[in-house]
């Protein structure tokens, strides 16, 4: 997952922020995610206080939610604006979920052995499945393969051959995933570089225009005053 997308992703649902709300500890989460955490906490309480205590999922600090609920929490307008602009731009180079619109494939489902998005884990068919990253999944598969080899005996050479072919197939699939990810990374940074170059040129052009306006504003006044000074000098000379 690209670092920029990580900044736009809720650490509870692993999806792009929706209605981002800021807790008193300054961490931001989706409003619906906070509602879920509060609801889970309320299930273990027989009464609801005027201010609901909540442990921040990020820093574990205990904060208080007003009785009005998450609606009273401040909206992270800066983050919301960035997300809206990000979603309006073309991100064809970023792998997204085919089932959930514009959601990046940023989590590895250990059960089904595939990349999924945050919505797949929270409301989709991968709900409740164990998750991890590709490197951890690779190490786990490698460990499993090693255990299988230890269980084999001289009577199972056919199984050994089949296992070799299976491992070759898995190796090829992993290498394919890595190559695809490398292409995505190269495309992303090329596009990012092009975008930064365009923004740089736009800013330089804007500054040049401002400089031109400054000259247009001040030069006539300077010339006018210089002319008055010269006329005054001539009058003094004739006197």
Cα–Cα distances (Å) from 161 to 156, 165, 170, in that order, read 9, 6, 14
Q: What is the pLDDT of residue 1?
A: 43
The pLDDT assigned to 150 comes to: 58
- Crossing angle between the packed helical segments 134-151 and 157-238, to the nearest 10 degrees: 160
pLDDT score, position 41: 66
Query: Running DSSP on this structure, what letter comes out for residue 153?
Result: -
Radius of gyration of the chain (CA): 31
DSSP 45-62: -SS--SEEEEE-TTT--E
Structure tokens that stand for 234 in this block: 């001539």
pLDDT at position 64 is 85
Burial class from Cβ neighbours inside 10 Å (0-12, 13-18, 19+) for residue 74 reads exposed
Give the CA distances from residue 52 to residues 11, 26, 45, in Å, rounded to whole numbers and listed in that order: 21, 17, 11
Which H/E stretch holds residue 115?
A: strand 114-116
Report the chain's mean pLDDT, rounded to a whole number: 79
Structure tokens at 175: 């290498």
For residue 210, give every residue at least 6 positions away whose Cβ sits within 8 Å of its Cβ, in sequence order, or none.
none
Q: What's the token pair of residue 162?
A: 């089949």
As beta bridge partners, residue 229 has: none
- pLDDT of the residue at 180: 86
At 181 the three-state DSSP class reads helix
**pTM across the whole model:** 0.40
Q: Which residues of the chain have pLDDT under 50?
A: 1, 44-48
Beta 28-30 vs 51-55: how paired, if at all? Answer: unpaired
Of the candidates 84, 115, 87, 110, which has an alpha carbon nearest to the alpha carbon of residue 178?
Answer: 115
């Amino acid at each position: 997952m690209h670092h920029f997308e990580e900044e736009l992703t809720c650490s509870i649902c692993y999806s792009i922020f929706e209605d981002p709300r800021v807790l008193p500890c300054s961490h931001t989460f989706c409003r619906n995610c906070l509602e879920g955490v509060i609801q889970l906490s309320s299930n273990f309480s027989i009464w609801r206080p005027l201010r609901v205590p909540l442990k921040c999922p990020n820093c574990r600090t205990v904060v208080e939610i007003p009785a009005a609920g998450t609606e009273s929490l401040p909206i992270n307008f800066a983050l919301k604006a960035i997300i809206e602009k990000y979603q309006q731009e073309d991100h064809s180079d970023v792998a997204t979920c085919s089932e959930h619109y514009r959601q990046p494939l940023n989590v590895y489902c250990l059960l089904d052995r595939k990349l999924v998005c945050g919505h797949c884990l929270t409301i989709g068919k991968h709900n409740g499945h164990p998750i991890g990253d590709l490197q951890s999944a690779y190490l786990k598969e490698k460990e499993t393969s090693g255990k299988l080899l230890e269980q084999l005996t001289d009577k199972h050479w056919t199984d050994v051959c089949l296992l070799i072919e299976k491992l070759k197939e898995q190796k090829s699939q992993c290498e394919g995933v890595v190559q695809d990810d490398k292409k995505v990374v190269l495309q992303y940074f090329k596009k990012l570089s092009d975008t930064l170059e365009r923004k740089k040129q736009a800013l330089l052009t804007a500054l040049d225009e401002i400089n031109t306006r400054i000259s247009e504003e001040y030069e006539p006044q300077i010339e006018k005053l210089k002319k008055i000074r010269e006329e005054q000098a001539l009058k003094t000379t004739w006197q």
